[in-house]
Structure 1
């Protein structure tokens, strides 16, 4: 089970942040592009019913997401699914980071993720503030869905 670091980031997410901050800025953008290629495709239940996903209007690109919560309460596992256009690798990369860093955590762990996580990646000079705001928008929607569905 993932633990939470002193920075209030779950272990998997903290490792991603550490990886981004361990390389020079130009390489961070390449890492973001790598995450865009690693975003899993939507399962058929969502690919066939895109209306079940919530849009994220803060993103410059059309991105949709849904958080599934298995049961209720703070220990309920969370699973994340995203629909993001391949021609928008930055936005898709942020979705990939969130999916890899948060998927499988408990509702309480997801809800405890600080809102400034996008800034912690060290991409502020490589990515526009609008794109960083898009990642914050994704996280905000994920947390709201988790809170509603887990009843935490």
Structure 2
């Protein structure tokens, strides 16, 4: 069976990763705060979190859901309180960076995404672990829907 070529990261996510990686450390936290405001509100059918998965690795209540459409594009939803700006920032980065992405592109996002962004030097290892768990659960949901 031939090896499949890994899909590149979605272009918008790759752009965000590069912006963070190139930013001076003192600007990174500011950039994160901007992304914490980028989390779109939940649609009506998810406002009670039915069908959403909790990410217990996050220090705060964090819920997510990925849906793969018949054309294989992925829609993501995140629910995280405003009092958790770093965790909300992870959600905002993924919401913006994965908008319109294919299932293959989502699955191709590197597992060390937050380290590539240079966040390991700016925020606590516990928060990085939460971000990695968010990405892992998102990818798992996509894989399950693809069968």
TM-score, normalised via structure 1 length: 0.88
Matches within 5 A, 1:6-17: 8-17=8-17
Q: TM-score, normalised by structure 2?
A: 0.91
Runs of 4+ in structure 1 displaced over 4 angstroms? none
Question: After superposition, where does 1:1-152 map in structure 2 within 5 Å?
Answer: 8-47=8-47, 49-71=48-70, 76-151=72-147
Deviation for aligned residue 1:7: 9.6
Unaligned stretches of 5+ residues in structure 1: 1-5
The separation in 2 between residues aligned to 1:9 and 1:111, in whole angstroms, is 9
Change (3 A) 1:81 1:132: same
State how far apart, in whole Å, the 1-side matches of 2:112 and 2:134 are: 12
State the Cα RMSD in Å.
Answer: 1.6
**Alignment gaps of 5+ in structure 2:** 1-5
SS in 2 for 1:67: strand
Is contact 2:7-2:105 (8 Å) kept? no
